[in-house]
Each structure stands twice: as C-alpha cells, then as structure tokens.
Amino acid sequence: MLTHLSIRDVVLIEKLDLAFRPGLTVLTGETGAGKSILLDSLGLALGERASGSLVRANAGHAAVSASFEIPPTHPVHELLAEQGIRLDDPDEPLLLRRIVTPDARSRAYLNDQPIGVGLLRRIAAQLVEIQGQHEQMGLADQNTHLDLLDAFGVSPDRREHVARNYRSWIEATAALAAARAEMEAAQREEEWLRQSVDNLSTLAPQEGEEDELAALRVSLQQDERRGEAIAAALSELTPRDRRTPGPAAALRGASRALARLMPASLDEPAANTSPQQTRAQEALDALEKAEEALADAETLLSRLAADAEADPKLLEDTEERLFALRAAARKHSVAVVELPGLLADLQNRLSALDSGNAHIAQMEVQVRETRAAFAETAALLSAEREAAARRLEAAVTAELKPVKLERARFIVSLIPLEPEAWNRRGREQASFLITANPGQPPGPLAKVASGGELSRLMLALKVVLAERSAVATLVFDEVDSGVGGATASSIGDRLHHVAHDVQVLVVTHSPQVAARGDTHMRIAKRIRGSHTETLAEVLPAPARREEIARMLAGDVVTDAARAAADSLLEGSFAV
C-alpha cells in the first residue's frame, strides 16, 4: 500500500510530506484548494505524462516520491526480476521518484536506481489504480479485463494447465520449424554434404590425434638430426674416399715414422738412449693410446648409430597425416580437434536428410497432439470463463443501482481469437462493456461511460473483486460527482467496504462519503505575502466534525450543520 507521498515544488506546493494509513482515506477541501494538484503529483510519481507547467514558479525542478509497502510475494517482484532489478531486502519499501524540469524533461528512479518512465508506469500499474474525472488507470484498459474475470471466477490450476499445454505446443511447433529449416538447408547443400562426409570418413580423424602426431613428428625429427650428427662424426673417422686418409691411417703413419727413431734392438742399454729417443717413445706411446681411443670412439659411434637409426618413412607418413588433418580443418574453418565432432554433425545432418521425411512426420504428429491438448484444456477454460462472466455481470449489475447507475447494464464479452492469436491465456480475450441507457448499444467503458460513471462502475466492480485484486491501493477522484443524498451515502458504504481489503483514497465533495473515512485529510490553500501555497493536514475528531459541517452548510457553518455532521459521523464506521 501507499505509505508516504513527498512533494517538492509542484505548482502551489513548495514542500509537502504526507503519510497514509490502511483503510479509507478521504481528501476534502474547497474548490481550488489543490486536491487535483495532489493527485497530479501522485500520478507523476506513477509515470503519468510529465508537464513543465507542474513545476512551481521560479523552481529549478519539481520532485515527487511515493513509498509503498509490498509483501515479498507481490507480482511486482517478478516484474523487477525480469528487468534484472533485485531489492537488497524484499521487505524494504518500494520508493518511486520522479523529477521534472520546466522544459518537461523528466527522470525516474526506483529506490534511487535510475529507470525508464515506461518501466515506472508498468511497476505503478501493479501498485495503484486511479479512476477520476479525467484520468483512468486500470479498469479502462481492456488488457486487464481477462485477468480480472479470471480472478473473479476461474480456477488458477485451470489457467496453469492451459499455459503449460500452450508452452508444449509452441515448443513442438518451434522444433518442427527448426527441423524443416534444417532439412531444407541440408537439401540445398546435399552434394557438398555427401562429399564432405566421404572425405572426412576416409580421413577418419581421431580425438587428440593432432597432439599425438605433432609430438611424434618432433621426436622423429630429433632422431633424424641425431642420426645425421652421428653419421657425420663417423664419416670424419672413416672417410668414404680412399684417397683421403682418415685419422686412423694418419695415426698409424705417424706411429711408423716415429718407430724408426727407436733402438734397433730391445737389448740396447738404456744408457745409450738419447733424450730425443725418450721423447719419441713418449710420443709413440701417445699415438698408440690415440689409436686405441679412436678405435673405442668408432665402436661407440657405431653402436650409437645403430641405436638411433632414424625412420624416414615413418616421419614422412606422420607429416603427411598431420598436414592432411590440418588441411581438412582449414577447409572447414574449424580446429583440428573439432574434426571428429564436425564429422559426427555432418553425418547426423546427412542421416536427417536421408530419414528427414519420417522424422518430420513424427514431429508433425507431436504438433497436432500438443495443439489438440491445448485446444481441449482451453475449451474447458472458455466454458469456465463463460460461466464466470455471467456471474460477474450479475454481481456487478447488483451493485450498479446503489451507485446511481440503475439504468446501466454491465456486460462481459468474450471474444474468440483466431487460431494464430491463441496464447498462453487461452483462445479468447475479454472486454468489459456498458450500456449507459436502455436502447443504446454496448460499448467500451472508457468511451461510453463518463468520468464519474466510470469511477462508480469501477467502485461497483471493486466491491465484487476487492478480495481478489493484487493492486493494494485504489484512488477515486470525485467518484460521487453529480450524486447526493442516499446515493452518496451508498457510495460511502461501498468505499468503506472495499477499504477492508485494499487501501482506498478518495477525493470527495460529499459529506456522506467523507463521514465514512477511516482517515480524513483536508486540503487547504494559504496565502503568505505574495505567494500562495497548498497545505494538507489530517483532521482530529473536532476539526473533522467542523469540516463535514462546512461541506453540508457552505461558508457559514450553523449548529444545525454540526448536528447533521454528528449524525453522519455516528452512523459511520470511522475510527
């Protein structure tokens, strides 16, 4: 419900902060006091069209904030979630704020988060309904009529069953359309599809094959390089060209040359050995060791060559396979690792093409079955709505006479929709119609009923639907316009009755209506110097009696008027 309304610099209102209570709040005051400004301010906070004329003279902008208390289960939470807006605490008040500049530009906020005016209006529509002489929010909108009818007399389970069957039908229809589109696309590319499947099937790519081949290629290349290095080393030790002596032959030649410097006989005394011969012997010993080391090196290199023998054919086959996979990946604009999945997808598409007609025929059967299930449950819903419509007509009609609409006739029209317009809510739309006078054709509420009639009609409807409405605040602007006496008293009774279930604010000139309020707020105009301002105050019991007496008597309040006010107040349920 609406708990607070804060107004800054709107027309005659410089600063006004109002607190609202549950039940029926009546707003009274002399003509021109500013009651309409108050409602315009509330409408501004609820997303109604902004006008620069609302900004108080010499003010930079006008600002209005409306605070609401809503339960965590209120539908507005679902709307906020759809828009990606989440409240820190579901129990915190909902604050709608609007700022308007003299050039009619406006900004909207939800709990200080900037939002669009369109979203502000959608949020407000779930919080407040306004009916007045010039503006209607709620009942005049035909889009709300089906939900109101369903809230009155249709099983929620039936509605949910219809919505569930509709979703199944739509999903089956979408799947069929997708399958047909896929088949048509496959037929257009059938030749390419078959060739691609043949080529990829021949290639037969395997999961992880590229990494394995790349690693094997590196290993084989390394083996090849090792083999080349060992072969080069061996070729240096044992040259293939016999005309080129190798290191072994050179060592042997050097050994033979040095051997001529050695003593001819091993028995020759060491004393006769010259220093040159000694050094030559050392060199000869070194050459022998070199020959042995060279022989060992040749042996080791030969063994190493045998162990590291490269496999050029395997390397060639590996590279050919790797390059073939990468070429196929480039051709199809995918990574090599995706080739197995691509092959499976193309095979499925080809299989769908080969068996497509049978598959589509099955899906067509599913579409027919889900459509029939929807139609069956929707027909039951239509019958339930038809019965509810007649009951609603009777219930509302019974409430029209007490609010001086006894000549009017309220009609609930259920309009069948074309099959292509069927939706999750069923096969029809509802429209509330009225004939204001006998002999006139029924027409839409907003066109046939005047502002006052529409307000009273909404009151009659709300008396019937009050317990079922998700909107917790109703605003009536002069619902008692043009009536008085017993009719005004009856309107007051009904407003008080509705206020047991929802919060009701009513702007009234009728003392009979004002006397039924739980809270009485007086709007007044005060002149301070050269400025005029609008004020609002909640009246205590004595001041309330005086205000109702003024409404009865006019400018001069008499004792008889006060006595009549006492009579009205004693007959009310005001607190």
The answer to whether 453 and 420 are in contact (CB under 8 A) is: no
| Domain-located, residue 81 | no
For residue 442, the 8-state DSSP code is P
According to the model, what pLDDT value does residue 109 have? 94
Q: With left for phi above 0 and alpha for psi between -120 and 50, is residue 166 left, alpha or beta?
A: alpha
How far apart are alpha carbons 97 and 120 in whole angstroms? 9
Predicted confidence band of residue 263 (pLDDT cuts 50, 70, 90): low
According to the model, what pLDDT value does residue 449 have? 62
How many domains, the chain?
1
| Domain-located, residue 95 | no
Segment 320-328 shows an average pLDDT of 88
In terms of average pLDDT, the best of 21-25, 232-236, 506-510 is 21-25
| Least confident stretch, 161-175, 357-371, 453-467 | 453-467
| Domain-located, residue 317 | yes
Q: Are strands 473-477 and 128-131 parallel, antiparallel or unpaired?
A: parallel
| Domain-located, residue 300 | yes
For residue 159, the number of C-alpha atoms closer than 13 Å in the C-beta half-sphere is: 13
| Domain-located, residue 8 | no
Which one is predicted more confidently, 470 or 554? 554
| Domain-located, residue 123 | no
Q: How many other CB atoms sit within 10 Å of the CB of residue 530?
A: 5
Predicted confidence band of residue 99 (pLDDT cuts 50, 70, 90): very high
Alpha-carbon distances, residue 123 vs 16, 469, 472, 500, 566 (angstroms):
24, 15, 13, 24, 41
Sign of CA dihedral 547, 552, 556, 560: negative
| Domain-located, residue 181 | yes
Predicted confidence band of residue 308 (pLDDT cuts 50, 70, 90): low
Q: Indicate if the pLDDT at residue 494 is higher than 50.
A: yes
The domain in which residue 230 lies consists of 155-262+274-383
| Least confident stretch, 143-152, 538-547, 558-567 | 143-152
Residue 259 token pair: 């051997």
Which one is predicted more confidently, 413 or 12? 413
Residues 314, 317, 323: CA angle, nearest 5 degrees: 135
The answer to whether 108 and 453 are in contact (CB under 8 A) is: no
| Domain-located, residue 352 | yes
DSSP string, 151-194: HHH--HHHHHHHHHHHHHHHHHHHHHHHHHHHHHHHHHTHHHHH
Which one is predicted more confidently, 137 or 316? 316
Alpha-carbon distances, residue 314 vs 203, 320, 322, 336 (angstroms):
18, 10, 12, 21
According to the model, what pLDDT value does residue 266 have? 47
